[in-house]
A and B are shown apart, each in its own frame.
Chain A
Amino acid sequence: QSVLTQPPSVSGAPRQRVTLSCSGGSSNIGNNAVNWYQQLPGKAPKLLIYFDDLLPSGVSDRFSGSKSGTSASLAISGLQSEDEAEYFCATRDDSLRGPVFGGGTKVTVL
């Protein structure tokens, strides 16, 4: 059971906008920056969003992050087939004194 809760799957049609959620608590999301990772099948995770809503260089601006209270969200606009992947949220948990991950959300493009 992951400390951060993500829906197992989300799907959308091409060009649609989808939103992935990540729910936590006061000891993690409520008090620390959230980061998002994209993991393509058989590949290592890749940083997608850092510090809640910042885009690393080279990441498409179709991706955006936000946070409110103890929940965070990742939005993908203009959904493309290449976006089919697993997406993980991650943050520090002050009680556990280390990073924690969500269970991951698999995005399927219909």
Chain B
Amino acid sequence: QVTLRESGPALVKPTQTLTLTCIFSGFSLSETGMCVTWIRQPPGKALEWLARIDWDDNKHYNTSLKTRLAVSKDTSKNQVILTISNVDTMDTGTYFCARAVDCTGAWFDPWGQGILVTVSA
């Protein structure tokens, strides 16, 4: 059974760097074809794709946020880490990680429960 869970701070101050960790089980990111993605959802708004990391360590980013995002993986710990630098209030929202079944598409299954992050002074 594949599961994912997000962890990180609930509150971050503007200009700080937000670090989120996705802890997963039921698959290995060293296995060919495996990918993990990050998606966020501002309160009451739509989903927004952020980043993806592939089994071969290739990384892909939302072009509008690319300069502030960094994704990495620790295969031995079954973890994927997302950092967002220089956060502001617009980064407030729920952050989800998910397995990207089709790495290049939008087929995500399953999703983590999500973590609500608030950016506020």
Interface residues of B, dominant DSSP: strand
Q: 8 Å CB contacts to B: which residues of A61-97?
A: 88, 90-92, 96-97
With a cutoff of 8 Å between Cβ atoms, the chain A residues found around residue B112 in the complex are: 44
Q: Which residue of B lies closest to A50 (CB)?
A: B107
Report yes or no: A44 in contact with B114, Cβ–Cβ below 8 A: yes
**Is B102 on the interface with A (CB-CB < 8 A)?**
yes
From known contacts A96-B63, A97-B60, infer whether A47 and B46 are also in contact, taking CB-CB under 8 Å: no
**Are A45's CB and B111's CB within 8 A?**
yes
Chain A interface size, as a band, is: 20 to 34
Contact between A35 and B105, CB atoms less than 8 A apart: yes
Using CB atoms, name the residue of chain A closest to B46.
A103
Q: Which residues of A contact B107 (CB under 8 A)?
A: 33, 35, 47, 50-51
- Please list the residues of chain B having a beta carbon within 8 angstroms of any beta carbon in chain A: 37, 46-49, 52, 60-63, 96, 101-102, 104-114
Other A-B contacts than A33-B106, A104-B47, 10 sampled, CB-CB below 8 A, are: A32-B105, A37-B47, A44-B96, A50-B102, A50-B107, A91-B106, A98-B49, A100-B106, A101-B47, A101-B49
A binding-site residues for B, Cβ under 8 Å: 2, 32-35, 37, 43-47, 50-51, 56, 88, 90-92, 96-104
Contact sample, A vs B, 30 pairs, CB 8 Å cutoff: A34-B106, A35-B105, A35-B106, A35-B107, A35-B108, A44-B96, A44-B114, A45-B47, A45-B96, A45-B108, A46-B111, A47-B107, A50-B101, A50-B107, A51-B107, A56-B109, A88-B47, A91-B106, A98-B52, A98-B60, A98-B63, A99-B37, A99-B106, A100-B106, A101-B46, A101-B49, A101-B106, A102-B46, A103-B46, A104-B46
